[in-house]
């Protein structure tokens, strides 16, 4: 049986290039594994995990890589986190579809005690406002 050094010497190939090829092949397998886990986590969690939450999920599985590598692998895999949409406030001429406008901008009632408005304010215990 021949060892690696002898085979490389026979083919006139530096031994470092042999180990470099092995390293590249190992990294590609590792990268494919990380991408497959990222895609699985992405699909299991309603496609809403960004890089930080993805990193935490990978760490729970025992995969310790950096946040920038997670972001790069997500980009390479085409994984994009869903971002919750901001609430849309309708301009003052349109009614909300589920809340009727009973006052119809008539702010001066004919009689007293016919229009009541309110505000719901609550406080959280231990938090000063």
Query: What are the backbone angles phi and psi of residue 96, rounded to the nearest 5°?
Result: -70, 145
Residue 123 in domain:
no
CA 120/CA 125 separation, integer angstroms: 16
pLDDT of residue 123: 63
Is residue 73 included in any domain, yes or no?
Answer: yes
Question: Shortest CA distance to 81 belongs to which of 121, 127, 38?
Answer: 38
**What's the pLDDT at 125?**
67
Domain assignment present for 43: yes
Domain that holds residue 29: 4-77
Residue 15 and residue 4 in contact, taking contact as beta carbons nearer than 8 Å: yes
Low-confidence ranges of the chain (pLDDT < 50): none
């Amino acid at each position: 049986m021949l060892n690696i050094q002898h085979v490389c010497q026979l083919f006139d190939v530096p031994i470092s290039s042999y180990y470099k090829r092995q390293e590249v092949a190992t990294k590609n397998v590792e990268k494919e594994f990380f991408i497959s886990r990222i895609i699985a986590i992405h699909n299991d969690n309603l496609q809403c995990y960004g890089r930080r939450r993805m990193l935490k999920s990978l760490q729970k599985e025992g995969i310790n890589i950096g946040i920038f590598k997670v972001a790069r692998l997500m980009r390479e895999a085409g994984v994009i986190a869903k971002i919750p949409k901001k609430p849309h406030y309708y301009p003052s001429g349109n009614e909300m579809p589920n809340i009727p406008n009973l006052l119809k901008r008539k702010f001066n009632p004919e009689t007293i005690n016919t229009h009541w408005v309110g505000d719901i304010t609550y406080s959280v215990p231990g938090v000063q406002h």
